[in-house]
């Protein structure tokens, strides 16, 4: 046999047992140890190997049971050598039932049972390949089994590939959002009931990083670095009484993506806008959070991701709920671990750096703990400890992945708080769960036992006040992206967003609609005839309100392209100055994006191109 992943709990390679009172089960446990379980005088006895089977490689495993005048022995063999013996008083009790190969006979709780939530048993099979499964009606000796192994001529090396989370073609590509079909693994792909081009990838011109909306993550958006480290800021999660089972309701539990979907609203040279819509659901029956007693509508969320060519996005989360006061999280700092990797393979010990608008910086460090211990991680704050207080009002976060490009978040500073995730036991040095991504088990919390599957790690939670709240709708905004800059270099970007420079507009027939932080863009509306009059804009930038890669959206601009001048000099369109036309049912908008950082006044002129 060759294992692709370790099973969720004990899984038979072959068995013939009934209620653990009769028969036998020869199989694999969740750590990859193999063993024989058998009924002896009606008691369930077991012999488990000390060694773990390696993943992806052929292994020859065998077990024998022999009895002589009430004295019985079990033996285990790995690749022709004996690795375990158990002597027992009594004789084997056979079972009158069918032989079964590679699948549990009844739904079983994943291991470790006490740490699983919610507490649902699951169906699962052996994930791997089997060959020459044989049962003998007599006990083979150790020499005979050694001979069988030698005759098998097992090939060396990996015979199953390590899966890789899909993010589209490698390398940089033309900036924009693209519909595509992302393939993961044949067995997993064949389970899906979704159509083609159901995933979305945002690419960038000058770097291989990307933003991915993939059904294997239930479309939860993820940033992917140049060396395939994955990161996301999670979503809105409802927990407690607002969730039908009293646990947690989240799109992560939408295993069949019944509710979650993604669509491209805008994609041009200047920016991409993607909408992700989802439900906070529980994992067993797909019931939603906070169902309205009259209409039956439960919580829905629309997220709008406005992405610019510099790798910076603004995330606008719009919650629709009949109970806006329910207990919720709006953000969770999550690192997604590729199959075969542990959290510490992807995250530096100095995992989180926090900064405030005064430029005060503090880095928080995790520490190693004893290998194999199922305990709380050695995080900077212990379980149940309060929010961090250094620096005060920390509204900028940098996640220190083992990559050149690192995720960052910028929040409005009003009421901001940060806590350290350290509420559940882990076998690793950081928290780690593998019920998501990709996994289809009915669970919203299964700790990683090994680095065999795709998994995720939580580091912090960010808390901040709403951007808007009206009726049954609440909105929050968050700046999000990847950067190669140190934390202090993020301050000008934060100031440009949170204290945007004043814009002065000159041009007949143009209305100044101000700065919209939810789009990271200055808004104008053309009220006169389209394609006739130029418009001039001056940004009063300063150190306190710098300009950082500004965008301008002119509604009802018309069908004409535009010519650009900056500080009186004509500038050609290219990688640093970009233009897009967005065609709407009611008109055509112009989107302008300029790669320019300055604390000095900047003058821009746009003229309709009549050619």
Three-state SS letters, 457-497: EECEEEECCCCEEECCEEEEEEEEEEECCCHHHHHHHHHHH
The pair of structure tokens assigned to 91 is 């004789």
State the Cα–Cα distance between residues 317 and 476, nearest whole angstrom.
5
List residues bridging with 264 in a β-sheet. Answer: 274
Instruction: Give the pTM.
Output: 0.95
Residue 401: enclosing H or E segment and its boundaries? Answer: strand 396-401
pLDDT digit string, tens, across residues 219-269 = 999 999 999 999 999 999 999 889 998 889 999 999 999 999 999 999 999
The pair of structure tokens assigned to 162 is 């390590």
| Residue 472 within any structural domain of the chain | no
Please determine, for residue 577, whether its predicted confidence score (pLDDT) is greater than 70.
Answer: yes
Average pLDDT (483-504) is: 96
Average pLDDT (53-78) is: 95
Count: domains in the chain: 3
pLDDT digit string, tens, across residues 91-128 = 999 999 999 999 999 999 999 999 999 999 999 999 99
Check whether residue 36 and residue 137 sit in a common domain. yes
Check whether residue 35 and residue 97 sit in a common domain. yes
State the pairing for strand pair 551-555/521-526: parallel
State the pairing for strand pair 396-401/587-594: unpaired
Q: Which residues, 6 or more positions from 171, have their beta carbon under 8 angstroms from its beta carbon? A: 208
Which residue from 436, 125, 72 is spatially nearest to 257, judged by alpha carbons? Answer: 436
pLDDT digit string, tens, across residues 195-209 = 899 999 999 999 999
| Residue 197 within any structural domain of the chain | no
Q: How far is CA 479 from the centre of its chain?
A: 18
Average pLDDT (493-497) is: 98
Check whether residue 587 and residue 510 sit in a common domain. yes
| Residue 174 within any structural domain of the chain | no
Check whether residue 29 and residue 88 sit in a common domain. yes
Q: Tell me how far apart the terminal alpha carbons of the chain are, to the nearest angstrom.
A: 69
Check whether residue 23 and residue 132 sit in a common domain. yes
Check whether residue 406 and residue 511 sit in a common domain. no
| Residue 543 within any structural domain of the chain | yes
Judged by DSSP in three states, 187 sits in: helix
State the Cα–Cα distance between residues 408 and 233, nearest whole angstrom.
10
Output the pLDDT for position 551. Answer: 98
| Residue 227 within any structural domain of the chain | no
Judged by DSSP in three states, 40 sits in: strand
Check whether residue 11 and residue 147 sit in a common domain. yes
Output the pLDDT for position 609. Answer: 86
The pair of structure tokens assigned to 535 is 């418009």
Check whether residue 127 and residue 11 sit in a common domain. yes
Output the pLDDT for position 530. Answer: 54
Check whether residue 6 and residue 146 sit in a common domain. yes
DSSP state of 346: H
Q: How far is CA 301 from the centre of its chain?
A: 18
Boundary (domain end) residue, out of 123, 152, 181 = 152
Percent of all residues in the chain with a pLDDT value above 90, rounded to a whole number: 92
Q: How confident is the model at residue 434 (pLDDT cuts 50, 70, 90)?
A: very high
ω into residue 437 within 30 of 0, thus cis? yes
DSSP state of 499: T
Check whether residue 401 and residue 455 sit in a common domain. yes
| Residue 352 within any structural domain of the chain | yes
Instruction: Round the average pLDDT of the chain to a whole number and report it.
Output: 95
| Residue 414 within any structural domain of the chain | yes
- Find the CATH number of the domain harbouring 504: 2.60.40
Would you tell me how many other CB atoms lie within 10 Å of the CB of residue 578? 22
Check whether residue 405 and residue 540 sit in a common domain. no
- Placement of tokens 């510099």 in the chain: 310
| Residue 84 within any structural domain of the chain | yes
- Find the CATH number of the domain harbouring 50: 2.60.120.200
277, 261 contact by CB (below 8 A):
yes
Q: Which residues, 6 or more positions from 282, have their beta carbon under 8 angstroms from its beta carbon? A: 118, 243, 244, 245, 247, 248, 249, 253, 289, 444
Check whether residue 425 and residue 505 sit in a common domain. no
606, 564 contact by CB (below 8 A):
yes
Average pLDDT (278-300) is: 95
The pair of structure tokens assigned to 209 is 């990083």
Average pLDDT (377-389) is: 90
Boundary (domain end) residue, out of 130, 152, 174 = 152
pLDDT digit string, tens, across residues 315-368 = 999 999 999 999 999 999 999 999 999 999 999 999 999 999 999 999 999 999
Domain ranges, residue 569: 499-609
Boundary (domain end) residue, out of 152, 170, 186 = 152
Which residue from 550, 551, 552, 564 is spatially nearest to 597, judged by alpha carbons? Answer: 550
């Amino acid at each position: 046999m060759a294992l692709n992943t370790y099973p969720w709990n004990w899984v038979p390679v072959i068995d013939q047992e009934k209620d653990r009172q009769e028969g036998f089960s020869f199989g694999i446990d969740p750590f990859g140890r193999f063993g024989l379980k058998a009924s002896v005088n009606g008691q369930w006895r077991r012999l488990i190997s000390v060694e773990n089977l390696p993943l992806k490689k052929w292994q020859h495993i065998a077990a024998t049971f022999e009895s002589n005048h009430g004295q019985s022995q079990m033996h285990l063999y790995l690749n022709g050598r004996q690795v375990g013996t158990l002597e027992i008083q009594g004789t084997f009790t056979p079972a009158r039932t069918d032989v079964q190969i590679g699948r549990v006979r009844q739904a079983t709780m994943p291991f470790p049972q006490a740490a699983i939530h919610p507490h649902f048993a699951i169906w699962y099979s052996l994930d791997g390949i089997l060959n020459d499964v044989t049962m003998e009606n007599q006990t083979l000796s150790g020499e005979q089994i050694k001979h069988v192994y030698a005759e098998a001529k097992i090939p060396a090396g990996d015979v199953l590939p390590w899966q890789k989370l899909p993010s589209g073609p490698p390398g940089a590509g033309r900036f924009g959002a693209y519909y595509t079909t992302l393939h993961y693994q044949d067995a997993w792909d064949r389970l899906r009931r979704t159509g083609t081009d159901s995933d979305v990838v945002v690419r960038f011109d000058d770097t291989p990083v990307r933003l991915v909306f993939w059904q294997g993550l239930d479309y939860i958006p993820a940033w992917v670095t140049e060396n395939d480290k994955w990161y996301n800021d999670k979503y809105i999660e409802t927990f407690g009484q607002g969730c039908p089972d009293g646990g947690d309701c989240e799109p992560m539990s939408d295993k069949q993506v019944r509710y979650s979907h993604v669509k491209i609203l805008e994609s041009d040279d200047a920016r991409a806008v993607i909408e992700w819509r989802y439900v906070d659901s529980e994992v067993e029956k797909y019931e939603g959070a906070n169902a309205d007693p009259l209409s039956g509508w439960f919580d829905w969320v629309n997220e709008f991701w406005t992405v610019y060519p510099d790798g910076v996005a603004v995330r606008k989360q719009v919650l629709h709920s009949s109970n806006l006061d329910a207990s919720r999280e709006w953000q969770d700092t999550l690192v997604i671990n590729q199959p075969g990797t542990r959290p510490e393979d992807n995250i530096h010990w100095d995992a989180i750096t926090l900064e405030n608008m005064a430029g005060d910086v503090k880095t928080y460090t995790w520490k190693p703990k004893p290998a194999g211990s199922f305990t709380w991680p050695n995080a900077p704050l212990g379980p149940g400890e309060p929010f961090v207080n250094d620096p005060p009002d920390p509204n900028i976060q940098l996640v220190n992945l083992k990559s050149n490009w690192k995720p960052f978040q910028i929040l409005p500073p009003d009421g901001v708080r940060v806590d350290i995730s350290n509420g559940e036991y882990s076998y690793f040095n950081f928290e780690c769960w593998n019920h998501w991504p990709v996994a289809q088990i009915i669970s919203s919390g299964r700790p990683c036992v090994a680095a065999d599957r795709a998994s995720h790690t939580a580091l912090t939670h960010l808390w901040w006040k709403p951007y808007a709240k009206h009726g049954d709708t609440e909105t929050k905004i968050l700046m999000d992206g990847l950067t190669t800059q140190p934390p202090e270099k993020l301050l000008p970007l934060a100031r440009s967003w949170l204290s945007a420079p004043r814009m002065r507009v000159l041009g007949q027939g143009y209305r100044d609609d101000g700065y919209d932080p939810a789009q990271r863009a200055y808004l104008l509306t053309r009220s006169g005839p389209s394609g006739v009059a130029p418009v001039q804009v001056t940004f009063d930038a300063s150190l306190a309100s710098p300009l950082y890669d500004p965008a301008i959206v002119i509604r009802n601009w018309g069908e004409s392209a535009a010519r650009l001048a900056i500080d009186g000099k004509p500038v050609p369109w290219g990688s640093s100055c970009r233009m897009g036309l967005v065609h709407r049912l009611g008109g055509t908008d112009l989107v302008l994006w300029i790669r320019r950082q300055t604390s000095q006044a900047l003058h821009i002129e746009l003229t309709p191109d009549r050619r």
